[in-house]
Structure 1
Amino acid sequence: MKPIRAYGSWPSSISAAHVAAAGRKFADLTVDTAGDDGGTLLWVEARPEEGGRSTIVRNDDGAPVSLIDAPMSVASSVYEYGGGAIAAHGGFVWFVNGSDQAIWQRDPEGELAAITDVEADLRFADLQYDRRFGRLIAIAETLDEATHEPVARLVAVHRDGRVETLAEGHDFYASPRLSPGSQRLVWLAWNHPHMPWDVTELWAADIADDGTIGAAAPLWQPDDVSLFGPVFDPDGVLHIVADVDNWWNIHVEQADGGFARLTNEAAEFAVPQWVFGQSTYAFTASGRLFALATHDGIWELGEVDRETGRFRTLRQDFDFYEQIVALDEAVAVVAANPARAKHVRLFHADGSTEILQAADSLPADVALSRPESVSWATADGSQAHGLFYAPVSESYGAPETERPPVILKCHGGPTGATNTALDARIQYWTSRGYAVLDVNYRGSTGYGRAYRQALAGAWGIADVADCEYGVAHLAEADRIDIDRVLISGSSAGGYTVLSVLTFTDLAAAGASYYGIGDLKRLLASTHKFESRYLDRLIGTDTATLEARSPLYHAEQLSCPVLFLQGMRDKVVPPDQAESMVAALRESGVAVAYVAFESERHGFRDADNIMTAIEAERTFYTRVLGIAEVDDLEPLTIENFDGGG
């Protein structure tokens, strides 16, 4: 018999340090294909224990080796979110350095040198090495002195650092890709007010024998289709993902210049293009096509029959994948499942696999809560989705008559999605006796274009309703304590948090990580990439923006709120949190505010990650009045008398 303790008071071996260690991220999987061995794999690795620094890691015969030392850190700032920040060939590696946004070169001996001017106001992303002409193709962004807005271009960066403009005029560019032999260049482009998951265009230019890149010409200019991830096969045939028939399926270019659907799955072969350098399918040297697809929150790795388009799942013990590149006949991915955190894994042609790099794992003997896919009827007769995690402990049980408090977790974006990968943050809560509902509210990706577009005009309404109905669904099944509902989210998810707390009586308390309280101010102050995002989500009518902004209705918010904010955040500036804190402080509502001077949008430093989650636990424990918890960190909660 396990000792009985109240939900929320269970001691746990999963610490804040485990949550911080799980912040190690793997991105920008890249192959140096020089030589005859199928290539060498490299990736970008974010390390919270080094203050959030990102390094380049190379797989040297199964041993991961970091290629750059502090203070150098790989980080592109194009469109603020960056990505696609490395390229490699012949032992040379090119990368965007975070502090100056210049492109640097690391030679085979390890020597570093800046290729572009470190003093120039110029940022780069989506680096592609042109083997034929020895140059880099990239997306560049610079500030227009007249408009004070960044301007994006497609460029070539030459060996001498000269930056040549190849295409300009669109608001945004992404995904430049070269055909085998560098005879053709393609890329994506789009304009305001669209986001890349709304409408994108595919463009191309021929490359002459002297390296001159010809005039740009459109290949596909849809009115209401999102294009993603152009890729050439080994024979130079162009493929691209498009959501023509609701689902993001792979299409192939035809001889007459059009595109025909190759796959025909009720699944998504793409992800929202928040960052550069994403990949969901790859061709091996012999032309086999391997792809990643998601449906109902579950990801699969499979092979596409190039004759029939049939997607055959490769049965593996993983249900989350991101990033895929081919090395000869093998493929490398970032993989995970509910028991294993994201890691870099190589799948060989013979079916064997090997781990190349992994984040620190949780304690070996800890009991893990497994995600359960749930759907529920929500407002307007629609369906909403999510993942439910029940509380679980290897050491403690709860009274039979008690039901656990539940934390609603709201992902960012809002065009994003949750997934089944082991999440140390969720396990931190479930191991202490909290249930978690990770909500894929309407507007999330992975459920088709119609579901993704269902938040249009309804942000702050549909996502809020989906949280309400999700709680009601769990309460009806007697799985949670409906009087102890908590809600937490970051960025756009933080907006949903503040909207739920302001416009409903659903939650007892909430935590907003760099969330949005004033939509009017956001519209006026946010960066270019998202500056027209609200057009589709809400509109630009002043009355509507005020009606949906928690700040303008702060008098309706009466439950305790915790705010956590990076002071260098340009996406959701600190004044969003500070104005809400001031309003609640003045109205006498219990409020706590934790600011992090060095953090931008999203917390990357291990100490800050630990401080944030420990503050959140202290906050919940105190406002719910959970007894017998004696390992809490100090936290100042204003207007709070200490009662539950």
Structure 2
Amino acid sequence: MPRISPHGTWTSPVTAADAAAAGGGAQWLAAVDGALWWAEARPAEGGRVALVRALPGGGAEDVLPAPWNVRNRVHEYGGRPWIAVDGVVVFTHWADQRVYALKNGEVAALTPEPATPQGVRYGDLRPGREGEVWAVRERSTGPRRTDISRELVAIPLNGSAERVLAEGHRFFTAPQLSPDGAHAAWLAWDHPAMPWDGTELFVAPVAADGSFGEARVLAGGPEVAVCQVAWETADRLLVLADPDGWWNLHRIGLDGSAVNLAPVERELGGPMWKLGTSWFAPLGSGKHAVLDSGKLAILDESDGSVTRVETELTVWSSSGLVATPDGIAGIAGGPRHESAVVVLDPDTGKWRALTPQPASLPPAEYLPVPQERVFTGPDGAEIPAYVFPPTNPDFVAPEGELPPYVVHVHGGPTGHSDESLDLDFAYFTSRGIGVVAVNYGGSTGYGRAFRERLREQWGVVDVRDCAAVAEALVAEGIADRARLGIRGGSAGGFTSAASITMTRTYAAATVKFPILDFTGWTGEGGETHDFESQYLVSMVGPYPEAAERYRERSPMTHVGSLAGPVLFLQGLEDEICPPEQADRFVSEIDGSGIPHAYLRFEGEQHGFRKAETIVAALEAELSFYGQVFGFETPDVPRLELSR
């Protein structure tokens, strides 16, 4: 018989340590000589990323021992960090950002030590000509975060000097050699565009000495985003692009011919936050595995159809999709399954996992079943969202008590929330606190027009959409109006801070590694990295022409208008949203009488990777909500709030 206890006080088997243990997982999946290999983030090892391979008889083993950390800083979000070519494993190492080779059990550096620590970085490793690897090289050229140059380079496996393949653009990715070695293809773009705004697909002949001839644009443009390309034959490429407003799969010939293999108003691609991501894999016979807004589907050229595979694994990662003799390999999860490396038969939907579920995964009855909803905004726009209700079989609330709800704002803002199992959410829902994850205007997965609702409207549309969802839950009698909170990191941290300073919808906000001052978060302001230093040109407007808009939409401008307490969580090595802005905001609050707390974490970058940090942050957030919403949280340390 469930016990009666107020929302927020329910005893839960879901601990912050459970959430931390699930905070790693597989990434960058690929096949090597018929075996599946992947990188694996490990919070318990200080956030180290290991390189792992599946064993023929089951299980897996590490390819590289600690302290090797297979990760890089290209664009600060990183790019594909490993590849196996010619019997050699080539990888980037986090500590110094150099490229190394593992051969016959020995590791040797392939690139020189930079003059300044991590001053030269590599990512998106690809096979090149025989005896070399192609990559994106990123170099610091001055003291500012935006003093950066990038090129495509060839890195010889014998350790000799690398050579430049292509230069002249601000950003590059996806360097690939045609099957006959006669041509190279790659993607490039320039400020102020982001890769989901407009990119260009270049091709060039490859000379006998390996140099590139004159390059020409084969696809893409200022309003067309190409997000993935792969050679199909010596004279044709498969290309994910959105000339019609949706990322669809095209076949493009070197002669300029182009065919959309399945014209659908569906997103089969996504935003290139990390270089080397992939959303499709050819299966042969005119069929392709594709990700339809993150769900596995089969594209059949014969009838132009895109059919989702019926499976409980409803969320697939763009960090590796591989055709195998047994079906389709990928990294997938769902509302009841943590993300794992799996192999699935697309004909039957049956699958097997190559990586186990966390040993501490809580029983299913304590995990919320997400409800996919579409709300209507005040302007009539549709707002997709996932509602994660309070879920605990051991407790019910007193009659008539409505639960507190926290709006979760995804990052990006060109990002997306989905229904996958999230133990951070379960940590709250199993204690009686509801969570709703909102895909506000600007989110991906709904086509270019939906994505561009945020054009020059960041700080308006996102704030309004999140508030509309929260208010709708109140109107439906689902959430307690007096106990609404908002939480998010990065761009989600901005929206959370903007919402608690510029609306009166919420009683509390958790703001993680945020953007708080638009004027500083530009190339001129110097408080962000190069990749996103002109993002605000499209999201807010050109600077300095729109300087007043920058000032007005910045939470920093409205510190004195805080509607309630706020918790800040910040990594001290964050180069994307550096701590300077949170430092300034909190210094303005100090002495104001508004309850607040500011936790700063050594050794953390953009997003938390260490188990101890994840635990401390979640427990602090629960204590924060308890103090603001009026319930006891005796099972976590009490967060000290300043005023």
Query: In the aligned structure 1, how far is the partner of 2:254 from the partner of 2:236?
Result: 10
Q: How does 1:541-580 map to 2 (within 5 A)?
A: 541-580=546-585
Match of 1:635 in 2: 639
Taking only the aligned residue pairs, the percentage that are identical comes to: 37
Change (3 A) 1:349 1:193: closer
Q: 1:594 to 1:90 in 2, by over 3 A?
A: same
Structure 1 position 365, deviation (Å): 5.4
Please say if residues 234 and 283 of structure 1, whose CA atoms lie closer than 8 Å, have aligned partners that are also in contact. no
- Deviation of residue 182 (structure 1)? 3.0
In structure 2, C-alpha distance between the alignment counterparts of 1:350 and 1:503, rounded to whole Å: 51
**Any conservation in 2 of the 1:13–1:366 contact (CA below 8 Å)?**
no
Q: Secondary structure at the match of 1:617?
A: helix
CA distance in 2, matches of 1:479, 1:598: 40
Q: Within 5 Å, which residues of 2 pair with 1:145-184?
A: 145=142, 149-159=147-157, 160-184=159-183
Contact 1:494 1:515 in 2 (8 A): yes
Q: Which residue of 2 aligns with 1:602?
A: 607
The number of equivalent residue pairs is: 627
| Equivalent-residue separation in structure 1 for 2:192 and 2:175 (angstroms) | 22
Determine if the alignment matches structure 1 residue 84 to structure 2 residue 89. no
Residues in 2 aligned to 1:235 and 1:570: alpha-carbon distance in whole angstroms:
41
Which residue identity is paired with 1:432? Answer: R
Looking at structure 2, the residues matched to 520 and 622 of structure 1 have their Cα atoms a distance apart, in angstroms, of 33
Could you tell me which runs of 5 or more consecutive residues in structure 2 were left unpaired when the two chains were aligned: none
With over 3 angstroms needed to count, the CA separation of the structure-2 counterparts of 1:365 and 1:409, relative to structure 1, is: closer
Q: Match of 2:277, SS?
A: coil
Asked if 1 retains the 8 angstrom alpha-carbon contact of 2:72 and 2:123, the reply is: yes
Whole-angstrom CA distance in 1 between matches of 2:73 and 2:583:
25
Structure 2: how far apart are the matches of 1:146 and 1:569? 16
The code of the aligned residue for 2:40 comes to E
Inter-CA distance 20–112: structure 2 relative to 1 (3 Å threshold): same
**TM-score, normalised on structure 2?**
0.94
Distance 1:348 1:114, change over 3 A: farther
SS at 2:627 equivalent: helix
Segments of structure 1 that go 5 or more residues without pairing to the other structure are 34-38, 640-644
Residue identity in the other structure for 1:196: P
User: CA, structure 1 residues 240+314, in 2 after alignment: closer, same or farther (shift >3 Å)?
Assistant: same
Post-superposition shift, 1:197?
0.3
Deviation of residue 256 (structure 1)?
3.6
AA of the residue aligned to 1:29: L
Residues 76 and 101, structure 1, Cα contact 8 Å, conserved in 2: yes
Quote the offset at 1:632 in angstroms: 2.2
Correspondence 1:503-518 to 2 at 5 A: 503-518=502-517
Give secondary structure in 1 for the equivalent of 2:4: coil
2:3 counterpart of 1:3: yes
For the Cα contact (< 8 Å) 1:167–1:216, is it kept in 2?
Answer: no
The structural deviation recorded for 1:581 is 0.9
Task: Map 1:497-536 onto structure 2 (within 5 A).
Answer: 497-523=496-522, 524=525, 525-536=527-538
Q: Which residue of 1 aligns with 2:109?
A: 114
**Structure 1 segment 370-385 matched on structure 2, within 5 A:** 370-385=369-384
Give CA-to-partner distance per residue, 1:397-440, whole Å, 9 cap, x none: 11220110001000111100011111111111110001111011
Q: Pick the aligned partner of 1:93 from 89, 97, 109.
A: 89
User: For 1:216-365, what aligned pairs fall within 5 Å after superposition?
Assistant: 216-233=215-232, 237-254=236-253, 256-284=255-283, 288-294=287-293, 299-322=294-317, 323-328=320-325, 330-348=327-345, 351=348, 352-360=350-358, 362-364=361-363
CA displacement at 1:635 relative to structure 2: 1.7
1:54 Cα deviation after fit: 0.3
User: What corresponds to 1:27 in structure 2?
Assistant: 27
What is the CA distance between 1:177 and its match in structure 2? 2.3
SS of alignment partner, residue 509 of structure 2: strand
Moved over 6 A (4+): none
Distance in 2 of aligned mates of 1:236 and 1:21: 46
The 3-state SS of whatever aligns with 2:623 is: helix
Q: Determine the C-alpha separation between the residues in 2 that align with 1:236 and 1:426.
A: 48
- The equivalent residue for 1:105 is 101
The whole-number CA distance in structure 2 between the counterparts of 1:271 and 1:153 is 24
Q: Report the alpha carbon displacement of residue 552 of structure 1 after superposing the two structures with TM.
A: 1.3
3-state DSSP of counterpart to 2:521: helix
Deviations 1:295-317 (A, max 9, x none): xxxx3322221233211322222
2:123 to 125, 138, 143: 125
- The answer to which of 21-30 and 139-148 deviates more is 139-148
Contact (CA 8 Å) 1:28, 1:83: kept in 2 or not?
no
Q: CA deviation at 1:157?
A: 0.9
Q: Shift of the alpha carbon at 1:225?
A: 1.0
How many Å apart are 1:347 and its aligned residue? 2.4
Aligned CA-pair RMSD: 1.8
Summarize the Cα distance change of 1:257–1:236 in structure 2 as closer, same or farther, 3 Å threshold.
Answer: closer
Residue pair 1:102, 1:115 contacting (<8 A) in 2 also:
yes
Query: Residue 140 of structure 1: CA displacement?
Result: 0.6
Q: Structure 2: which amino acid aligns with 1:124?
A: Y
State the 1:146 CA deviation: 9.1
Residues 309 and 184 of structure 1: CA distance in aligned 2, closer, same or farther (over 3 Å): farther
Equivalent-residue separation in structure 2 for 1:60 and 1:320 (angstroms): 25
Letter of the aligned partner of 1:193 in structure 2?
Answer: P
TM-score by length of 1: 0.94
Specify the alignment match of 2:446 in structure 1: 447
